[in-house]
Structure 1
Amino acid sequence: MSSPELPDPDEARPDAGSPPDVNTRVPLKIEDWLTVLIMAALALITFANVLVRYFTSVSFAWTEEFSVFLMIVLAMVAGSAAFARNAHIRIEYFAERGSSSRQRAFARVATALVVVFFALLTVLSARVLLDDIEFGETSPGIGVPVWWYTMWMPICAFAITLRALGLYIRQSRPDPGTPVNKDPA
């Protein structure tokens, strides 16, 4: 009786690793590292709060407020990376129907709408930021100025606008989405 041959763990699988990244002027490592740092901060804050609550039956008041803020920033940073990689949420039923020229046209229209939406969000959230500064509103949990939190919305919305605009430019080229060859050899 022969035993089935086990795969060599050192042998590279064809599906191993991540796909090559897209060619962008601003490296996507920025969003990737921000995501890692924000997730680490969220984990540390939550873990510290659980420990304090377990041993003292008291909770840090600031953790919920700061965690919500970090989750919003995390969503915006990850959204920026998703648009740059053309990995954002879309309705595949419509996005993958028809000829390739129709699919490209649909993708360009969708990306143009995203650019317009996030450009408007940048302007409107900047107005909210100015109102928060002018009126001196403070947060309910720890009493810090609310603009400390709201200032990140126009910054992140502007970053998404630029990433989506870059995607639109790449989609308009004859061969959009050509991956970057990270290994020149």
Structure 2
Amino acid sequence: MSTSTPDGQPSAPIVPAAPAAADEPRSLRLEDWLIVLTMAALALITFVNVVLRYFTDASFAWTEEISVFLMIVLAMVGGSAAVARQLPIRIEFFADGGSEHRRQVLAQFGALMVALLFGLITVLSIRVVWDDYRFEETSPGIGVPQWWYTVWLPVLCALTTARALQLFARLRRASAASTAPKARP
């Protein structure tokens, strides 16, 4: 599809916007907004620290500790979004090769393994949070309770587990729909 300018000359073709993936969960807005807010906080903290250091030759002591925490949150939330969009790290030679049935089975297996891994990390990290709370561990930089940081690990791992299970359910539905016998008119 192309248009023309008022003098009749052809202009560049109009490219329609790419349609949103029909099977992509609408609830991914949560991850998208968390990523945006985390990046904004990270940029703001870093900018304020650089400006302060430039004008005063001193810096805020807490910025490095908070920045490391925010980068971990960013990685965990990004991983959750990648799992929900069926974009985790995989070996494409195996994942994309073979028959359609084989690809579907491998995708379902991968989603289950991601769910199992992050479910296990969720359970084990709850113990870490409890130990940080029970033994009153403090952060090395600014001395706040360590559990303020570690409490987010099981929460974000549980989110990734839930996204992997959602992906598995979507893949099962798609597999069942593709193998269902077609009705004759």
Matched-pair contact (CA < 8 Å) for 1:35–1:74: yes
Which secondary structure state, in structure 2, belongs to the residue aligned with residue 7 of structure 1? strand
CA RMSD of the aligned region, Å?
A: 2.0
Whether contact under 8 Å (2:24, 2:85) holds in the other structure is: no
User: What SS class does the counterpart of residue 27 from structure 1 fall into?
Assistant: helix
Spell out, residue by residue over 1:98-131, the C-alpha distance to the aligned partner (whole angstroms, 9 max, x if none).
1010111111111111111000000011000000
Q: For residues 37 and 145 of structure 1, do their structure 2 counterparts lie closer, same or farther at Cα, with a shift above 3 Å needed?
A: same
* Matching residue of 2:149: 149
1:23: Cα distance to partner? 4.6
State the structure with bigger RCO (CA 8 A, min sep 6), 1 or 2.
1
> TM-score normalized by structure 2?
0.85
Structure 1 residues 67-117: Cα deviation after superposition (integer angstroms, max 9, x where no partner):
010011111111111111112221111101110101111111111111110
Give, in angstroms, the shift of residue 48 of structure 1.
0.4
Q: Which has the higher helix share?
A: 2
**Deviates most, 140-149 or 75-84:** 75-84
Count how many residue pairs are aligned between Structure 1 and Structure 2. 169
- C-alpha spacing 1:128/1:176, structure 2 compared with 1 (3 Å): farther
Give the deviation of 1:175 after TM superposition. 4.8
SS at match of 2:12: coil
Q: Which runs of 5+ in 1 are unaligned?
A: 178-185
Distance 1:149 1:18 in 2: 38
**Is 2:12 aligned against 1:7?**
yes
1:16-45 deviation line (CA, Å, top 9, x unaligned)? 446335353x71111111111001000000
- Which 4+ runs in 1 deviate beyond 3 A? 16-19, 174-177
Instruction: Measure, in 1, the Cα distance between the counterparts of 2:52 and 2:176.
Output: 51
